[in-house]
Amino acid sequence: MQDQATPTAPRRFAALVMIYAIALVACDENVPQGAAENLGGNPRHGAALINQFGCGACHTIPGVAGAGGLVGPPLTGIAQRVYLAGVLRNSPENMSAWLQDPQQFVPGNAMPRMDISPSDARDLTAFLYTLR
């Protein structure tokens, strides 16, 4: 009886490792679902819009050629920032709202209203949320 119990131990251990791995993958899937929720925007189009609107003139943006501006804060890791401009809780909705009208939230700050459409704001937000 003892002889039979011994060979099953490694198999049991392997099964535990598998369960642990599956649990890890499951958790991993849950975290980005909430955090990367981007209102259905298209991050690739968002990256193109960064160039179109000239955000890089004022912001340093990792992965965007020529985006080395120092007027506003660097957008490095912006997806993980807790507040936008120190006043707005960082969420996809608030990010879109900020991009469409930064003057509404911090009157007089250097980021202008650029007449960004809601759809373009969603795409920009989707791109910005890739910056972790």
- Residues in contact with ligand HEC by the rule CB under 6 A: 53-55, 57-59, 71-73, 75, 78, 81, 84-86, 99, 106, 109-112, 114, 124, 128
Please state, in angstroms and rounded to a whole number, the distance separating the CA atoms of residues 14 and 9.
Answer: 9
Nearer residue to ligand HEC within complex by CB, 5 or 72: 72
Give 13 or 83: the residue with its C-beta nearer to ligand HEC. Answer: 83
Min. distance of Cβ 62 from ligand HEC in angstroms? Answer: 13
Tell me, what amino acid is at 87?
A: V
Work out how close the CB of 34 gets to ligand HEC at its nearest, in angstroms, rounded to a whole number.
19
| Smaller CB separation from ligand HEC, 84 or 97 | 84
Q: Nearest distance from residue 7's CB to ligand HEC, in Å?
A: 58
Contact 88, 94 (CB under 8 A): yes
The 3-class secondary structure across 72-117, one letter per residue, is CCCCCCHHHCCEECCCEECCHHHHHHHHHCHHHHCCCCCCCCCCCC
